[in-house]
Amino acid sequence: MARINLTESEKNEIIDLIKQGKPLPKEYIYKLYADDEDVFLFWNGRNETVTNAVLPFHSIEHIDEPRKEIEPQQITMFDTTGRQLKGWTNKLIWGDNRLILSSLVNGPMQEEIEKQGGLKLIYIDPPFAVGADFSYNITVNGEDVTKQQSIIEE
């Protein structure tokens, strides 16, 4: 177990708060309970409830070949139950972070994820410009493409 590094002032503050029956500030959670492998994220308004929801995933778009060389076709990586057709691949998933993580841990892809050795990296893009129009123009293989908002983004 890791050694607790608190100043005398912090120790006295914790004792006083406990005697008064008041909750400890969140910064003390890390100082009191952290070890070398723990990671904590704190922010104002953080929802502490645990989510165990399982939501289906579906492909919104798939770009992996030059557009001018092939005919467009509808591509899906999932069967009708939301299971992978060809095994685990890298994914960009849009949605509520807690619901997505819960669906990955508890959903139909859980067994396949475990077979592949678990998740290697999860990058959660912080929300910014919330409510803004996220359509934009890009060039793919020399062709101008306009990315419109998806149903999820709308």
Nearest to 13 by CA among 37, 40, 35, 31: 31
**Does residue 81 lie in a domain region?**
yes
Q: How far is CA 153 from CA 13, 44, 51, 95, 149, in A?
A: 45, 24, 22, 9, 6
pLDDT band at 17 (very low <50, low <70, confident <90, very high): very high
41 and 86 belong to one structural domain: no
**Does residue 3 lie in a domain region?**
yes
pTM above 0.85, yes or no: no
**Does residue 62 lie in a domain region?**
no
Residue 31, domain extent? 1-46
72 and 33 belong to one structural domain: no
H-state helical runs in the chain: 8-19, 27-33, 97-106, 110-115
pLDDT for the residue 21: 94
Q: Which residue has the higher pLDDT, 12 or 6?
A: 12
| Three state DSSP letters for 15-33 | HHHHHCCCCCCCHHHHHHH
The rounded percent of the chain whose pLDDT value lies above 90 is 8
CA distance 88 to 104: 12
**Does residue 78 lie in a domain region?**
yes
74 and 28 belong to one structural domain: no
33 and 74 belong to one structural domain: no
- What would the two tokens of residue 75 be? 């591509």
73 and 120 belong to one structural domain: yes
- Maximum CA extent, the chain: 72
pLDDT for the residue 68: 62
Q: What's the total number of domains in the chain? A: 2
**Does residue 9 lie in a domain region?**
yes
Per-residue pLDDT of 43-101, as tens digits, reads 777 776 767 777 777 766 666 656 566 666 666 767 776 666 666 667 778 777 778 88
**Does residue 59 lie in a domain region?**
no
71 and 106 belong to one structural domain: yes
